[in-house]
Amino acid sequence: MIVVTGGAGFIGSNFVLDWLDAHDESVINIDKLTYAGNAANLASLAGDKRHQLIQGDIGDTALWEKLLAEHRPRAVVNFAAESHVDRSILGPDAFIQTNIVGSFKMLEALRAYWSKLPADQASAFRLLHVSTDEVYGSLSPTDSAFTEEHKYEPNSPYSASKAASDHLVRAYHHTYGLPVLTTNCSNNYGPYHFPEKLIPLMIVNALAGKALPVYGDGMQIRDWLYVKDHCSAIRRVLEAGRVGETYNVGGWNEKPNIDIVKTICQLLDEMRPRSDGLSYATQISYVTDRPGHDRRYAIDARKIEQELGWRPAETFDTGIRKTVEWYLQHPDWVSQIQSGAYRDWVNANYADRAGMDKACA
Ligand code: NAD
Ligand code: DAU
């Protein structure tokens, strides 16, 4: 069996669902169930004996000791993290605790477990650490895309904390021989994406008749990958990645934010037209920029393609259409997410931004 951490979040829950679609190998899912963790993402697995969700913290050594002794996993896939850049700007503490201290505690627990495994199990064991392209910093419009050799230059508390965890993972391989793999992926989108991030926020705000808050000039570029493609890349790296290596994962889909927002508006205009006949694009508001906003990310995904034969299955056009359809088909999931705590976050992040002339909260 395998352990997945953070498997009730956006990417983790997609990964668990896809894994159990493709395998009968059981999953123990450790998730703290923070605001971003949602057991409802895994509702379709109710009663499925191959999956067990344990509410717990990756920094809890006693939990790790018990769980590793009891279940003896052959692999751990680490998704657990604080993941939102804007939250890291307003409150970095949780990012340091989970992404750095939590990762360290997890590594210590795994080292103790792995070092006592019989030789054949020890050499087959894997820790796959899921990381981000943001550790590489920001590109100019003419820079080449990030390769695995790009220097680390994180710019936000979030990306700095992820960079720290990547370095710890690397060091545990180099120093102790722990068999690790690291993936650095670009921006994901798709089902179960928490509506604090650009794409789901724009969909839910548009449908609610609220402002669509575009930071700065909206010309920042991200490289978008449909979440199921990220999950297939992780499965492939876990299966065949070379121990100690890092693999960049991306969709070859660089787009400015404003184009993303306009595409979502066009899809909604087609699938759920506004009753007044106006386009959702009339709800776009340019607002005060994110402090330290990275201008451009782009992933060079040739290594994973050439070594492991992985390529994304979705184009941006197919993936974004599926995503908008998913949100239209899951209004209950959206309304369950929009608790008081969610409204507090929206207020904290947006209320004071110039340009928020239309009510967002
Ligand atoms: P998310 O915020 O949706 O989910 C994170 C999950 O981790 C939640 O379920 C949360 O409850 C859990 N968690 C948080 N702290 C924990 C702790 N201390 N112990 C146990 N569980 C904890 O994040 P996501 O977007 O699904 O990202 C998953 C991983 O992928 C993160 O490591 C992130 O850095 C990385 N990543 C994300 C993207 C993206 O575009 N979303 C891209 C590249 C890499
Ligand atoms: O690149 C991978 C990273 O992508 C992951 O490591 C992070 O966990 C994930 O959150 C994501 O980070 P970004 O900061 O790129 O994603 P976000 O959806 O927050 O923002 C995408 C872009 O849209 C970014 O340039 C900021 C902009 N934006 C975002 C929000 C929430 C807006 O213009 N308005 C908004 O309201």
C-alpha of 117 from chain center: 31
- Are the C-beta atoms of 251 and 320 separated by less than 8 Å? no
- What pLDDT sits at residue 340? 81
Q: Is 94 exposed, middle or buried (0-12, 13-18, 19+ CB in 10 A)?
A: middle
3-state secondary structure of 32: coil
**Looking at the whole model, is its pTM more than 0.85?**
yes
- The residue ranges of the chain whose pLDDT is under 70 are 357-361
Q: What is the dihedral of CA 96, 75, 34, 58, to 10 degrees?
A: -50
Answer yes or no: is the C-beta of 198 below 6 A from any ligand 2 atom: yes
Structure tokens given for 212: 């669509």
Structure tokens given for 56: 């717990």
Structure tokens given for 91: 């409150």
Find the catalytic residue in 31, 57, 82, 133: 133
| Angle, CA of 111, 115 and 117, to the nearest 5° | 120
Answer yes or no: is the C-beta of 88 below 6 A from any ligand 2 atom: no
Residue 147 to residues 78, 234, 302, Cα–Cα distance (Å): 22, 17, 8
Tell me which residues have their CB closer than 6 angstroms to ligand 1.
Answer: 5-6, 8-12, 30-34, 36-37, 57-59, 79-83, 98, 102, 130, 132, 162, 185, 187-188, 194
| Domain boundaries defined on the chain | 2-192+226-253+295-314
Q: Is 43 exposed, middle or buried (0-12, 13-18, 19+ CB in 10 A)?
A: exposed
User: Is 158 an active-site residue?
Assistant: yes
3-state secondary structure of 339: coil
Domain 2-192+226-253+295-314 has CATH 3.40.50.720: yes
DSSP secondary structure string for all residues of 241-277: PPTT-EEEE--S-EEEHHHHHHHHHHHHHHHS--TTS
User: Is 134 an active-site residue?
Assistant: yes
Q: How far apart are CA 327 and CA 322, in angstroms?
A: 9
Answer yes or no: is the C-beta of 187 below 6 A from any ligand 2 atom: yes
- Are the C-beta atoms of 128 and 237 separated by less than 8 Å? yes
Compute, in angstroms, the gap from residue 42 CA to the centroid of ligand 1.
15
Beta bridge partners of 71: none
Compute, in angstroms, the gap from residue 9 CA to the centroid of ligand 1.
6
Answer yes or no: is the C-beta of 132 below 6 A from any ligand 2 atom: yes
Find the catalytic residue in 57, 134, 166, 314: 134
Answer yes or no: is the C-beta of 272 below 6 A from any ligand 2 atom: no
Query: Measured on CA atoms in the order 264, 266, 269, 271, is the torsion positive or negative?
Result: negative
- What pLDDT sits at residue 132? 98
- What pLDDT sits at residue 357? 64
Q: How far apart are CA 314 and CA 324, in angstroms?
A: 14
Half-sphere exposure of 137 (CA within 13 A, CB side): 10
